């Protein structure tokens, strides 16, 4: 069925079709709508979900942990400060291997307080051991919400599917919805090896490790993350085979013969694709690499996309505040260090706090990348793009 939906509406719709057993959630702009819409589904009897309107996001994630440990399918939704408030529990959920799925809207972290888009919220939690998938448009947000539940339950790791604040969350786009019956069929039942509710086989979850066991448990969790990419690729392929829309961990756009390229995440990927088209119309060979799966980091797929490109402009909608620039920039530098591909790279910090990025602005970035290709030099490694006073 083809409909017009905003990102929030589409994710809520996906949640309705997934029909999780428990949703424990708290409102926060701009993800509030997801929770509101889902509450309406609950109160109208359209889902069987036990909805727990908790008193804070910390309790939301905690209740999700309890429910997931009890063997049921669990989801929630949040953004920015909400995710930050969950921070402590995120690490616990991953350590306890609980496949919770969060539909998240990327909003900047205070301070300053701001309700608009950047990627600082999810990136601040990138080391928590959660899967992270950043979506470009409403269709992808919808599709990935469904995929994530399956991936998380197979990997036994919690995951976040995110979409940009207001740009996608409140932007209305054309979406193809799956049939209600198709979603539960695609996901199947959650398979559990143990449950807190199995009183005949009692287990203890979340014990204390002294120095003699912690590392072994952590090593096991690290190993789990090492095995996730094949699971993601398999589920992406299954989804494509069944429903005709294929996704990949790294979204390559016109990279085959690109001389210069941009790397980006989220909705900027979509904006950049239009810029690519316009540049190509002018005869310029440019491309785009959109990082869709961020955790685990798809090193192999990323390097494969970058084998031929000569100059790479890495656009970060966040800063690591380490003096080393943005997150993607640091990840790209890291994977390129030992690779044969040696593109010149430059970091563009942009769009913080919802500062808009236009097609024309991205075109100027491409022009600058060509200048770098000509001169063979990068004058400034990190630039703050679009901020007044630079």
Partner 1 sequence: MKKEKKGWKDLPIGLVLEAGTCKDFETGDWRSEKPIWDSEKCTHCLICWIYCPDSCITVKDGKIQGIDYKHCKGCGICAEECPPKIKAITMVREEK
Partner 2 sequence: MAKLKELAAQEERFTGGHRGCAGCGASIIARQVLMAAEQPIVVGCATGCLEVFSTIYPYSAWNVPYIHNAFENVAATMAGVEAAYKALKKKGKIKKDLRFIAFGGDGGTYDIGIQALSGMIERRHRVLYVCYNNEAYMNTGIQRSSATPRGAHTTTSPAGKVIPGKMQLRKNLTEIIIAHEPAYAAQTTFGYWNDLVTKVRKALDADGPSFINIYAPCRLGWAYAPEKTVKVSKMSVETCIWPCYEYQDGKYRITVKPKEKKPITEFLKMQGRFSHLFKWKDDVPIKEFQAEVDTIWERLLKRSETE
Nearer to partner 2, 21 or 361 (CB): 21
189 vs 256, beta carbon nearer partner 2: 189
Is the Cα dihedral 180, 185, 186, 189 positive or negative? positive
Q: Report the partner that residue 224 touches, choosing among partner 2, partner 1, none (CB closer than 5 to 8 A by kind).
A: partner 1
Binding residue for partner 2 (CB under 8 A) from 1, 2, 208, 321?
Answer: 208
Of 27, 71, 171, 354, the one binding partner 2 by CB under 8 A: 71
| HSE (side-chain half, CA atoms, 13 Å) at 237 | 6
Q: Considering the rule CB under 8 A, would residue 354 count as an interface residue with partner 1?
A: no
The helix (run of H) or strand (run of E) holding residue 101 is strand 101-106
What CA–CA distance (Å, rounded) separates 120 from 292?
16
Q: Should residue 215 be labelled a site residue for partner 1 when binding is judged by CB under 8 A?
A: yes
Residue 210 touching partner 1 (CB under 8 A): no
Angle in degrees, CA 250, 229, 270, rounded to 5 = 20
Calpha distance 5→169 (Å, rounded): 9
C-alpha Rg value of the chain to the nearest Å: 21
> In this structure, how many other beta carbons lie within 10 angstroms of the beta carbon of residue 113?
10
* 117 touches 91 (CB < 8 A): no
Taking the C-alpha atoms of residue 15 and residue 145, their distance in angstroms, rounded to an integer, is 8
CA 222/CA 229 separation, integer angstroms: 13
Alpha-carbon distance of 108 to 120, in angstroms, equals: 5
Would you say 326 and 319 are in contact if contact means Cβ atoms under 8 Å apart?
yes
2 binds partner 2 (CB under 8 A): no
Only segment of 206-214, 236-244, 272-280, 366-374 that touches partner 1 (CB under 8 A): 206-214
CA angle 169, 30, 175 (to 5 degrees): 15
Tokens of 218: 């952590």
Which residue's CB is nearer to partner 2, number 206 or number 376?
A: 206
Q: In sequence order, what DSSP letters do the residues of 163-174 get, joined into one string?
A: EETTTTSS--EE
- Asked whether position 211 contacts partner 2 by CB under 8 A, the answer is no
Q: How far apart are CA 343 and CA 324, in angstroms?
A: 18
Please identify, among the stretches 73-81, 204-212, 238-246, 271-279, the one whose residues bind partner 1 according to the rule CB under 8 A. Answer: 204-212
Only one of the segments 117-125, 198-206, 344-352, 376-384 lies at the binding site for partner 1 (rule: CB under 8 A); that segment is 198-206
Q: Does 50 bind partner 2 (CB under 8 A)?
A: yes
Is the Cβ of residue 4 or residue 197 nearer to partner 2 in the bound state? 197
Q: Does 98 bind partner 1 (CB under 8 A)?
A: yes
254, interface contact from partner 2, partner 1, none, CB < 5-8 Å by kind:
none
Q: How far is the CB of 189 from partner 2 (least distance, A)?
A: 10
Nearest alpha carbon to residue 351 among 262, 265, 274: 265
Give yes or no for residue 92 binding partner 2 (CB under 8 A).
Answer: yes
- Which DSSP symbol is given to 100? -
Q: Is 227 in the site for partner 1 (CB under 8 A)?
A: no
Among 127, 176, 179, 209, binds partner 1 (CB under 8 A): 209
Let me know how long the chain is. 390
Q: What is the DSSP letter of 352?
A: G
Does residue 246 bind partner 1 (CB under 8 A)?
no
Does 223 interact with partner 1 (rule: CB under 8 A)? yes
Question: Is 69 one of the binding residues for partner 2 (CB under 8 A)?
Answer: yes
Q: Is 200 in the site for partner 1 (CB under 8 A)?
A: no
Instruction: Assess contact for 152 and 131: CB atoms under 8 A.
Output: yes
299 forms part of the interface with partner 2 (CB under 8 A): no
Which partner, partner 2, partner 1, none, binds residue 223 by CB below 5 to 8 Å per kind?
partner 1
**How many chain residues touch partner 1 (CB under 8 A)?**
22
Give the interface with partner 2 as residue ranges (CB under 8 A). Answer: 21-22, 24, 48-50, 52-56, 58-60, 62-72, 74, 88-89, 92, 195-199, 202-210, 213, 217
Give the interface with partner 1 as residue ranges (CB under 8 A). Answer: 95-98, 156, 194, 202-207, 209, 212-213, 215-217, 219-220, 223-224
């Amino acid at each position: 069925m083809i409909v017009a939906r905003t990102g929030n509406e589409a994710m809520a719709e996906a949640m309705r079709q997934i029909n999780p057993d428990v949703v424990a959630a708290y409102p926060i702009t701009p993800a509030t709508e997801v929770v509101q819409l889902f509450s309406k589904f609950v109160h109208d009897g359209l889902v069987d979900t036990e909805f727990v309107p908790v008193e804070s996001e910390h309790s939301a994630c905690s209740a999700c942990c309890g429910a997931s440990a009890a063997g049921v399918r669990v989801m929630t939704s949040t953004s920015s400060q909400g995710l930050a408030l969950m921070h402590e529990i995120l690490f616990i959920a991953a350590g306890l291997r609980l496949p919770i799925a969060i539909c998240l809207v990327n909003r900047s972290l205070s301070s300053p307080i701001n309700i608009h888009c950047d990627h600082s919220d999810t990136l601040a939690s990138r080391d928590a051991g959660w899967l992270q998938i950043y979506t470009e448009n409403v269709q992808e947000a919808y599709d990935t919400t469904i995929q994530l539940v399956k991936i998380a339950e197979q990997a036994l790791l919690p995951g976040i599917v995110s979409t940009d604040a207001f740009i996608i969350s409140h932007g209305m786009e054309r979406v193809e919805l799956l049939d209600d019956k198709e979603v539960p069929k695609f996901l199947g039942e959650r398979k559990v090896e143990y449950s807190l509710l199995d009183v005949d086989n009692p287990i203890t979850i979340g014990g204390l490790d002294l120095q003699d066991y912690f590392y072994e448990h952590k090593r096991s969790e690290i190993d789990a993350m090492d095995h996730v990419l094949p699971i993601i690729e398999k589920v992406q392929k299954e989804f494509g085979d069944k429903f005709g829309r294929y996704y990949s961990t790294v979204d390559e756009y016109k990279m085959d013969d690109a001389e210069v390229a941009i790397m980006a995440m989220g909705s900027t990927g979509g904006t950049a694709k239009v810029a690519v088209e316009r540049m190509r119309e002018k005869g310029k060979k440019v491309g785009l690499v959109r990082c869709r799966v961020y955790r685990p980091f798809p090193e192999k797929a990323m390097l494969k996309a970058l084998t031929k490109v000569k100059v790479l402009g890495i656009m970060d909608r966040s800063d690591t505040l380490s003096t080393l620039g943005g997150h993607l920039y640091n990840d790209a530098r890291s994977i390129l260090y030992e690779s044969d591909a040696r593109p010149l790279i430059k970091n563009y910090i942009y769009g913080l706090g919802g500062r808009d990025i236009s097609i024309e602005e991205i075109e100027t970035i491409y022009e600058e990348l060509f200048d770098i290709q000509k001169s063979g030099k990068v004058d400034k490694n990190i630039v703050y793009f679009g901020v007044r006073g630079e």
